[in-house]
A and B are shown apart, each in its own frame.
Chain A
Amino acid sequence: MKSKSSNTHMTLHLKVWRQKGPHAEGKLCDYELEGVNPDMSFLEMLDILNQKLILKGEEPVAFEHDCREGICGSCSMVIDGNPHGPQKSTTACQLHMRHYRDGQTIVIEPFRAKAFPVMKDLVVDRSAFDRVIQSGGYISVNTGSSPDGNALPIAKEKADLAFDAATCIGCGACVAACRNGAAMLFVSAKVSQLALLPQGQAERSERVAKMVYQMDAEDFGACTNMGSCAGACPKDISLENIARLNREFMRSMVSGRKSYPRGDGANEGSPA
Chain B
Amino acid sequence: MAIHLDSKSPTGPIEDRWTNHRFSSKLVNPANRRKHSIIIVGTGLGGASAAASLGEMGYHVKSFFIHDSPRRAHSIAAQGGINAAKNYKNDGDSIYRLFYETIKGGDYRARESNVYRLAETSVRIIDHCVALGVPFAREYGGLLDTRSFGGTQVSRTFYARGQTGQQLLIGAYQAMMRQVSDGNVDMYPRREMVELVIIDGHARGIVVRNLATGELETHHADAVVLATGGYGNVFYLSTNAKASNASAIWRAHKKGALIANPCYTQIHPTCIPVSGDHQSKLTLMSESLRNDGRCWTPKNLGDTRPPSQIPENERDYYLERRYPSFGNLVPRDVASRAAKLECDNGHGVGPSKLAVYLDFADSIKRLGEDKIREKYGNLFQMYEKIAGENPYKTPMRIYPAVHYTMGGLWVDYNLQSTIPGLHVLGEANFSDHGANRLGASALMQGLADGYFVIPTTLTNYIGGTTLSKVTTDHPAFKEALASAKARTSKLLGIKGNKTVDQFHKQLGHIMWDHCGMGRNKEGLQKALKEIPKIREEFWQNVAITGHGEGLNQELEKAGRVADFIELGETMCLDALTREESCGGHFREEHQTPDNEAKRDDKNFAHVAAWEYKGDGKKPERHVEKLEFEYCHPTQRSYK
Q: Which residues of A contact B (CB under 8 A)?
A: 5, 20-21, 37, 39-41, 43-44, 47-48, 51, 53-55, 57-60, 62, 64-74, 89-90, 94-96, 98, 119-120, 123, 125-127, 129-130, 133-135, 137-150, 152-156, 159, 162-163, 166-167, 169-170, 193-194, 197, 199-200
The reply to whether A94 and B386 contact each other, CB–CB distance below 8 Å, is yes
Most chain A CB inside 10 Å of its own CB: which residue of B49, B86, B283:
B283
**A133: nearest residue on chain B (CB-CB)?**
B177
The reply to whether B388 and A59 contact each other, CB–CB distance below 8 Å, is no
CB < 8 Å: which of B71, B181, B189 contacts A134?
Answer: B181
The reply to whether B124 and A146 contact each other, CB–CB distance below 8 Å, is yes
The reply to whether B67 and A130 contact each other, CB–CB distance below 8 Å, is no
User: Could you list 16 examples of A-B contacts with CB < 8 Å?
Assistant: A5-B388, A39-B388, A51-B499, A54-B554, A55-B497, A55-B543, A67-B77, A68-B242, A138-B133, A142-B56, A143-B175, A144-B128, A145-B131, A162-B135, A163-B135, A163-B167
The reply to whether A72 and B76 contact each other, CB–CB distance below 8 Å, is yes
B138 within 8 A of A: yes
Chain B nearest CB from A226 CB (Å) reads 26
Query: B273-281, B408-416, B485-493, B613-621: which one contacts chain A?
Result: B273-281
**A126: nearest residue on chain B (CB-CB)?**
B68
CB < 8 Å: which of A60, A69, A125 contacts B554?
Answer: A60
Chain A nearest CB from B494 CB (Å) reads 13
The reply to whether A39 and B275 contact each other, CB–CB distance below 8 Å, is yes
B23 within 8 A of A: no
Q: Which residues of B contact A58 (CB under 8 A)?
A: 545
Q: Which residues of B contact A (CB under 8 A)?
A: 49, 52-53, 56, 67-72, 74, 76-77, 86, 88, 124, 126-133, 135-144, 160-161, 163, 165-167, 170, 173-175, 177-178, 180-181, 187, 189, 212, 241-243, 275-276, 278-281, 283-284, 381-382, 385-386, 388, 451-452, 455, 497, 499, 501-502, 543, 545-546, 550-551, 553-554
The reply to whether B142 and A155 contact each other, CB–CB distance below 8 Å, is yes
Q: Which residues of A contact B497 (CB under 8 A)?
A: 55
**B450: nearest residue on chain A (CB-CB)?**
A143
The reply to whether B551 and A123 contact each other, CB–CB distance below 8 Å, is yes
Q: Which residues of A contact B212 (CB under 8 A)?
A: 119
The reply to whether A67 and B241 contact each other, CB–CB distance below 8 Å, is yes
The reply to whether A143 and B126 contact each other, CB–CB distance below 8 Å, is no
The reply to whether B177 and A44 contact each other, CB–CB distance below 8 Å, is no
The reply to whether B68 and A64 contact each other, CB–CB distance below 8 Å, is yes
Most chain A CB inside 10 Å of its own CB: which residue of B67, B133, B167:
B133
**A89: nearest residue on chain B (CB-CB)?**
B381
The reply to whether A149 and B553 contact each other, CB–CB distance below 8 Å, is no
Q: Which residues of A contact B165 (CB under 8 A)?
A: 71
The reply to whether A127 and B69 contact each other, CB–CB distance below 8 Å, is yes
Bound complex: CA A89 to CA B377 (Å): 13
Bound complex: CA A201 to CA B224 (Å): 36
Chain A nearest CB from B73 CB (Å) reads 8
CB < 8 Å: which of A127, A139, A154, A193 contacts B189?
Answer: A127
Chain B nearest CB from A42 CB (Å) reads 11
Bound complex: CA A172 to CA B243 (Å): 20
Chain A nearest CB from B192 CB (Å) reads 14
The reply to whether A72 and B72 contact each other, CB–CB distance below 8 Å, is yes
Q: Which residues of B contact A138 (CB under 8 A)?
A: 132-133, 174-175, 177-178
Bound complex: CA A167 to CA B281 (Å): 23
| Given A72-B77, A134-B177, A199-B131, 9 new contacts (CB under 8 A) | A37-B278, A67-B241, A72-B74, A94-B386, A96-B386, A119-B551, A146-B127, A149-B86, A163-B135
Q: Which residues of B contact A64 (CB under 8 A)?
A: 68
The reply to whether B56 and A134 contact each other, CB–CB distance below 8 Å, is no
Q: Which residues of B contact A129 (CB under 8 A)?
A: 69
Q: Which residues of B contact A41 (CB under 8 A)?
A: 280, 386
The reply to whether B278 and A66 contact each other, CB–CB distance below 8 Å, is no
Q: Which residues of A contact B135 (CB under 8 A)?
A: 159, 162-163, 166, 193, 197
The reply to whether A59 and B242 contact each other, CB–CB distance below 8 Å, is no
The reply to whether B166 and A167 contact each other, CB–CB distance below 8 Å, is yes
Chain A nearest CB from B213 CB (Å) reads 10
Most chain B CB inside 10 Å of its own CB: which residue of A69, A137, A153:
A69
Chain A nearest CB from B39 CB (Å) reads 19
Decide: A167 near B163, CB < 8 A? Known: A51-B499, A133-B174, A155-B142: yes
The reply to whether A130 and B69 contact each other, CB–CB distance below 8 Å, is yes
Chain B nearest CB from A88 CB (Å) reads 11
The reply to whether A69 and B77 contact each other, CB–CB distance below 8 Å, is yes
The reply to whether B280 and A120 contact each other, CB–CB distance below 8 Å, is no
**A132: nearest residue on chain B (CB-CB)?**
B177
Q: Which residues of A contact B49 (CB under 8 A)?
A: 143
**B180: nearest residue on chain A (CB-CB)?**
A134
Most chain B CB inside 10 Å of its own CB: which residue of A53, A94, A141:
A141
Decide: A66 near B67, CB < 8 A? Known: A137-B174, A154-B142, A166-B135: yes
The reply to whether A149 and B451 contact each other, CB–CB distance below 8 Å, is no
The reply to whether B130 and A199 contact each other, CB–CB distance below 8 Å, is yes
Most chain B CB inside 10 Å of its own CB: which residue of A43, A125, A156:
A156
Most chain B CB inside 10 Å of its own CB: which residue of A40, A66, A166, A197:
A66
Decide: A66 near B142, CB < 8 A? Known: A41-B280, A123-B551, A199-B130: no
The reply to whether A48 and B283 contact each other, CB–CB distance below 8 Å, is no
Bound complex: CA A261 to CA B157 (Å): 43
Bound complex: CA A127 to CA B70 (Å): 10
Bound complex: CA A58 to CA B546 (Å): 8
Q: Which residues of A contact B243 (CB under 8 A)?
A: 66
Chain A nearest CB from B410 CB (Å) reads 26
Bound complex: CA A42 to CA B39 (Å): 37
Bound complex: CA A139 to CA B502 (Å): 46
The reply to whether A150 and B388 contact each other, CB–CB distance below 8 Å, is no
Q: Which residues of A contact B278 (CB under 8 A)?
A: 37, 39-40, 44, 47-48
Decide: A47 near B144, CB < 8 A? Known: A142-B56, A163-B160, A193-B135: no
The reply to whether B551 and A120 contact each other, CB–CB distance below 8 Å, is yes
**A21: nearest residue on chain B (CB-CB)?**
B550
